[in-house]
Amino acid sequence: MGTHTLTPASPEKLQATVRKVERYDAYVTGFADARAHVSHYQRKYPDGWPCEVLFLVQRESRQRSTTEALAAARTQRGTRVVTQAFTLQGATEYCRRLFPAVEESPRGPAFALLSRRGPALQPFYGEAEHRVVNDFVLDMTAALSAANSALRRNGFRGAAEPASKAPMLDFLRKAQAEMHRQRAVEVGHV
């Protein structure tokens, strides 16, 4: 809430807000696994969404001061994590722009958000993605079958079918049925 030190009282007392940014920067950009180039943040949150640190302050004057301290941390200390300072009203407006409005739904707001169509929010898993996943599973199944046939022809035992094959095929069938159902609802056939 903007109560940390921005200007050090003495050379021994570092700026608390800048130190916080440095700790977030180390977490977001520092490697947990240097060989794999995976940061601590990526390990904890593998979804690929970018990280942004928002500082909530009480007054606009404090927002300006905090924004200046954050800019100095980027230029003088080389921090790379994205940071911004907001008043409560500014943070509310900023977050509203990030998230589309949620319509009412008999299944709740989360369902309305996930099922909404339009340019503001595209489905994460739609028909195009389904085709790619389905084709991949079928191609891999065919490749395993061909490899096993070649192994057996040469006197070797084939590899076992993966235990996940049946559940994956079941999921693909259910996803396809749900997409057909949603399309029927959208065009008014249900």
The candidate with the shortest Cα–Cα distance to 185, out of 103, 114, 115, is 115
Rounded CA gap, 82 and 61, in Å?
21
Q: Can you read off the two tokens belonging to residue 175?
A: 């996803």
Tens of pLDDT along 99-141?
766 555 455 555 555 554 444 445 667 777 888 888 888 888 8
Tens of pLDDT along 144-186?
999 999 999 999 998 988 888 888 888 888 888 887 777 777 7
165, 141 Cβ separation under 8 angstroms: yes
pLDDT on residue 108: 53
Half-sphere exposure of 161 (CA within 13 A, CB side): 12
- pLDDT: which is higher, 1 or 123: 123
pLDDT on residue 3: 54
pLDDT on residue 117: 47
Radius of gyration of the chain (CA): 26
For residue 125, CA distances in Å to 138, 176, 178 come to 18, 11, 11
Domain ranges of the chain: 16-98, 124-186
- Bridge partners for 87 per DSSP: 57
Tens of pLDDT along 4-33?
555 555 444 447 888 888 999 999 888 898
pLDDT on residue 119: 47
- pLDDT: which is higher, 49 or 87: 87
94, 102 Cβ separation under 8 angstroms: no
pLDDT on residue 60: 93
pLDDT on residue 178: 81
Q: Are strands 82-87 and 52-57 parallel, antiparallel or unpaired?
A: parallel
Rounded CA gap, 14 and 7, in Å?
8
